[in-house]
Amino acid sequence: MVILGSTGSIGVNALIIAERFNVYVEALVAGKNIALLNEQIEKFHPEYVAISDPNDRPFVKHAHVFVGKEGILELLGKCKSHIVLNALVGFVGLAPSIEALRLGKQLALANKESLVVAGHLLDTARITPIDSEHFGLWYLQGKRPVTRMMITASGGAFRDTPLEALPHMSFQDALKHPNWSMGAKITIDSASMTNKLFELLEARWLFGCEQLDAMIEPSSLIHAFVSFKDGSTTAHLAQADMKLPIAFAMLGEIKEEILPPLDLSTLQGFSFQAIDPRRYPIWEIKEEILANPTRGVVINAANEVGITKFYNREINILELAELSKRAFFRFKEVSPSNLQEVFEIDREVRAFCLR
Please give the annotated binding residues for 1-deoxy-D-xylulose 5-phosphate, written as ranges: 112, 132-133, 154, 177, 190, 195-196, 199
Q: Return d(Cα 30, Cα 163) in angstroms, integer.
A: 38
Strands of the sheet with 233-237, listed across from one edge: 212-216, 146-153, 222-228, 233-237
Q: Return d(Cα 82, Cα 333) in angstroms, integer.
A: 38
Cβ-Cβ contacts under 8 Å for 137 (sequence gap 6 or more): 149, 151, 203, 206, 207, 224, 226, 236
Binding residues for Mn(2+): 131, 133, 199
Partners of 48 in the β-ladder: 27
Binding residues for NADPH: 7-10, 31-33, 111, 113, 183
Q: Return d(Cα 72, Cα 95) in angstroms, integer.
A: 9
Q: Return d(Cα 175, Cα 158) in angstroms, integer.
A: 10
Binding residues: 7-10, 31-33, 111-113, 131-133, 154, 177, 183, 190, 195-196, 199
Residue-wise over 34-63: b if at least 16 C-beta within 10 A, else e?
Answer: beebbebbeebebbbbbbbeeebeeebebe
Partners of 66 in the β-ladder: 50
Q: How many residues does the chain have?
A: 355
Q: What are the counts of helices (DSSP H) followed by strands (DSSP E) for the chain?
A: 14, 11
